[in-house]
């Protein structure tokens, strides 16, 4: 437990700006432990950028860096992302 | 998912302050008129952005306190003494002021009970705000879904929406409220007077077979303690939705 | 668990510079955001401008930022190592590390998230002390940390009085949330390079972008040239 951490839901606004749709209900599968869960339920840490971590194994699922007009997203910790349409 | 997805890009919208309502000594409800507001689901939040005259910006997220009400939304803000944004919102804002907000967002933490059973709302301090939106939405829909709110506050003076919660419970439509006052209790108080622990959750909450969904909101340490307590009592983790407000609670 | 490194070509494919042209167009079309009447924020406006890099705001606070949970390594289990392209592994236990000569350090620090803190007071062991006598042809360093964080720097940015392993801040032992028991302190670069919970330095012949450098943050990070992001 870390008093600083939030839920993925706290980044809902940023995620919607980047991806153009509601992302907190998308289901991600962790590439580390294989657990699946809603993006809104993952652990969110705010460092220089955002780090989304698996609540089961702590693996970094996604990193997001916002640099003015540019955004970088690293998905390597997500084996799959299932989006609702 | 009907109504949840706001497809396409979000923009920062101008929101005009139309009303300011003190709730407790540390909290205030700010009513905004937001032209073009698309409507929202109870439990969603907005990101608020303030810009100083030299371009310096600060952003924070606040849960929407009101049920859907046309172009108007309520935010109930707790003033944090060392906060950068909350004291501005509670002390400085006047009717007619315009700030920017982005939303509504957060489809993960919304009132949408579809499973059988009781909804368990657990609020720590200012975590009551999105859960109040849910209680208000439930009343608006004349829902009879059994819903219990466990509200943890430092004292009775820190309880937000107390009268309205009493009115909602008085409707006898399946909604009720249990308080625990963790720091000071008034004379003659016969309710709970301690921090939420597993025993309290067992006494107040539904058993795991009867839980439709639990929404837990408040400072991160509170949410952690409640969520792990519920899991300890046998509730399915997938039915426990959390909204952590961070170390200070917003 | 096997450590798996994605080949660089796949890295480029999976990292999306998302809708850059659309975002750029939208930014140009948006007007200056409305000013929030009377909003100042919690920052100082009295700092000498020659000490404030471009785009930074000065604060008296010390915001806590972290990419992961705060580690709590017991000091008995803690060590600091210098490894990689060196003649021999260097290792210090906590007691050995604290027995090394240390010095007070008063520096300005600059976070890429735009806050700067002037005259912050630390105590630490200079990297010159730790690297004393180390024989290497390496030109690069990767700092590695409890929790898995990494950052990369040229070796020459750690030497000649430019960097420390800091164990105290403001006269007190460094708190875990600020990187305690010890963190890297490299004040001439953006503060994400001052890796919290540092456990060692790996000297390498080639540059290896670290945790944030792999995903948008500038590989070097000079605040005076405002090198925040790739391509700056």
Q: Does the residue A1 lie in any domain? A: no
Mutate to test the interface with B, among A13, A18, A45 (most CBs of B within 10 A): A13
Domains within chain C, CATH numbers bracketed:
47-225 (3.90.420.10)
- Tens digits of residue pLDDT in B14-63: 999 999 999 999 999 999 999 999 999 999 999 999 999 988 999 999 99
Cis peptide before C158 (omega within 30 of 0): no
Query: Measured in whole angstroms, how far is the alpha carbon of residue C46 from the centre of its chain?
Result: 26
Q: Is the pLDDT of residue C55 over 70?
A: yes
- The Cα–Cα gap between A3 and C118 comes to 27
ipTM score for this prediction: 0.95
Give the minimum alpha-carbon distance from B71 to chain A in angstroms, rounded to a whole number. 19
Q: Secondary structure of chain B in the HEC alphabet?
A: CCCCCCCCCCCCEEEEEEEEEEEECCEEEEEEECCCCCCCCCCCEEEEEEECCCCCEEEEEEEECCCCECEEEEEEEECCCCCCCHHHHHHHCCCCCEEEEEEEECCCCCCCCCCCCEEEEEEEHHHHHHHHHHHHHHHHCCCCCCEEEEEEECCHHHCCCHHHHHHHHHCCCCEEEEEEECCCCCCCCCCECCCCCHHHHHHHCCCHHHEEEEEEEECHHHHHHHHHHHHHCCCCHHHEEEEECCCCCC
pLDDT value, residue B7: 42
> Whole-model pTM?
0.89
The total domain count for chain A is 1
pLDDT value, residue C1: 39
Residue B116's pLDDT band (cuts 50, 70, 90): confident
Q: Is the pLDDT of residue C123 over 80?
A: yes
- Tens digits of residue pLDDT in B118-133: 999 999 999 999 999 9
Q: Give DSSP secondary structure letters for C152-200.
A: EEEGGGTSSSS-EEEEEETTEEPPGGGTTT-EEE-TTS-GGGS-TTEEE
Q: Is the pLDDT of residue C86 over 50?
A: yes
* C contacts of A11 (beta carbons < 8 Å): none
Domains within chain B, CATH numbers bracketed:
13-105 (2.40.30.10), 118-244 (3.40.50.80)
pLDDT value, residue C9: 43
SS3 (DSSP) at A51: strand
Whether C66 sits inside 8 A of A69 (CB atoms) is no
- State which residue of chain B sits closest to C31, comparing Cα positions: B12
Domain that holds residue A63: 6-82
Tell me if chain B has a CB within 8 Å of the CB of C54.
no
Residues B199, B200, B204, B206: is their CA dihedral positive or negative? negative
Instruction: Give the residue-averaged pLDDT of B205-212.
Output: 96
- Tens digits of residue pLDDT in A39-78: 999 999 999 999 999 999 999 999 999 998 899 999 999 9
Mutate to test the interface with C, among A11, A21, A47 (most CBs of C within 10 A): A47
The strands making up B57-63's β-sheet, listed across from edge to edge, are B57-63, B45-51, B98-105, B13-24, B27-33, B72-78
* C contacts of B100 (beta carbons < 8 Å): 33-34, 36
Tell me if chain A has a CB within 8 Å of the CB of C65.
yes
Against chain C, the chains showing at least 3 CB pairs within 8 Å are A, B
Instruction: Give the residue-averaged pLDDT of B209-218.
Output: 96
Tell me if chain B has a CB within 8 Å of the CB of C90.
no
In the numeric block, the tokens 């709590």 are attached to C72
pLDDT value, residue C30: 53
Mutate to test the interface with A, among C67, C110, C113, C193 (most CBs of A within 10 A): C67
Give the minimum alpha-carbon distance from C87 to chain A in angstroms, rounded to a whole number. 34
Triad B25, B26, B27: Cα angle to 5°: 105
**Range from B39-48, C15-24, C123-132 carrying the lowest mean pLDDT:** C15-24
Q: Does the residue A51 lie in any domain? A: yes
Q: Does the residue A17 lie in any domain? A: yes
- The Cα–Cα gap between A15 and B105 comes to 9
Whether B1 sits inside 8 A of A39 (CB atoms) is no
- Tens digits of residue pLDDT in C167-221: 999 999 999 999 999 999 999 999 999 999 999 999 999 999 999 999 999 999 9
pLDDT value, residue C113: 95
Beta-carbon contacts below 8 Å between A and C: 94
Tell me if chain C has a CB within 8 Å of the CB of B114.
no
Whether A45 sits inside 8 A of C216 (CB atoms) is no
Residues A53, A27, C209, A48: is their CA dihedral positive or negative? negative
* B contacts of C39 (beta carbons < 8 Å): 50-52, 58, 88, 92
């Amino acid at each position: 437990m870390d008093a600083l951490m939030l839920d993925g839901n706290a980044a809902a606004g940023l995620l919607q700006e980047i991806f153009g749709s509601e992302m907190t209900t998308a289901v991600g599968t962790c590439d580390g432990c294989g657990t699946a869960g809603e993006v809104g339920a993952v652990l969110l840490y705010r460092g220089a950028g955002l780090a989304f971590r698996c609540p089961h194994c702590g693996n970094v699922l996604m990193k997001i860096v916002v640099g003015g007009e540019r955004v970088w997203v690293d998905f390597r910790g997500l084996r799959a992302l299932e989006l609702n349409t | 998912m009907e109504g949840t997805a706001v497809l396409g890009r979000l923009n920062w919208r101008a929101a005009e302050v139309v009303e300011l309502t003190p709730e407790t000594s540390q909290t205030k409800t700010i009513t905004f008129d937001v032209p073009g507001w698309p409507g929202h689901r109870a439990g969603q939040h907005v990101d608020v952005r303030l810009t100083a005259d030299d371009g310096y910006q600060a952003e924070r997220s606040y849960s929407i306190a009101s049920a859907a009400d046309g172009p108007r939304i309520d935010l109930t803000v707790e003033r944090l003494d060392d906060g950068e944004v909350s004291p501005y919102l509670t002390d400085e804002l006047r009717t007619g002021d315009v700030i920017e907000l982005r939303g509504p967002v957060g489809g993960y933490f919304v009132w949408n009970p579809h499973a059988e059973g009781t909804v368990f709302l657990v609020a720590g301090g200012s975590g009551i705000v999105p859960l109040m939106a849910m209680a208000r939405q439930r009343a608006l829909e004349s829902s009879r879904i059994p819903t219990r709110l466990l509200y943890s506050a430092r004292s009775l003076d820190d309880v937000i929406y107390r009268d309205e919660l009493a009115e909602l419970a008085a409707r006898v439509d399946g909604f009720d409220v249990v308080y625990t006052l963790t720091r000071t209790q008034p004379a003659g108080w016969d309710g709970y007077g301690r921090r939420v622990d597993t025993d309290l959750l067992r006494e107040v909450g539904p058993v795991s077979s009867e839980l439709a969904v639990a929404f837990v909101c408040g400072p991160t340490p509170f949410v952690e303690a409640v969520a792990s307590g519920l899991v300890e009592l046998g509730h399915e983790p997938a039915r426990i939705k959390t909204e952590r407000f961070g170390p200070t609670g917003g | 668990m096997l450590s798996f490194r994605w080949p660089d070509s796949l890295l480029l494919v999976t990292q999306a510079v998302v809708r850059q042209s659309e975002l750029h167009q939208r930014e140009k079309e948006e007007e200056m955001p409305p000013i929030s009447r009377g909003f100042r924020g919690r920052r100082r406006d009295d700092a000498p401008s020659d000490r404030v890099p471009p785009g930074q705001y000065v604060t008296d606070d010390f915001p806590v930022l972290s990419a992961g949970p705060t580690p709590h390594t017991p000091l008995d289990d803690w060590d600091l190592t210098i490894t990689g392209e060196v003649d021999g592994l260097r290792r210090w236990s906590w007691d050995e590390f604290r027995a090394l000569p240390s010095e007070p350090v008063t520096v300005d620090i600059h976070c890429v998230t735009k806050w700067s803190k002037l005259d912050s007071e630390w105590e630490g062991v200079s990297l010159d002390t730790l690297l004393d006598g180390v024989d290497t042809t390496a030109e690069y360093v990767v700092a590695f940390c409890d929790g898995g964080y990494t950052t990369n720097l040229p070796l020459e940015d750690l030497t000649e009085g430019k960097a420390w392993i800091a164990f105290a801040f403001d006269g007190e032992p460094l708190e875990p949330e600020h990187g305690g028991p010890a963190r890297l302190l490299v004040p001439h670069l953006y503060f994400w390079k001052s890796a919290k919970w540092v456990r060692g330095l790996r000297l390498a012949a080639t540059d290896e972008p670290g945790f944030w450098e792999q995903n948008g943050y500038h590989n070097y990070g000079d605040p005076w040239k405002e090198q925040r992001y790739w391509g700056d």
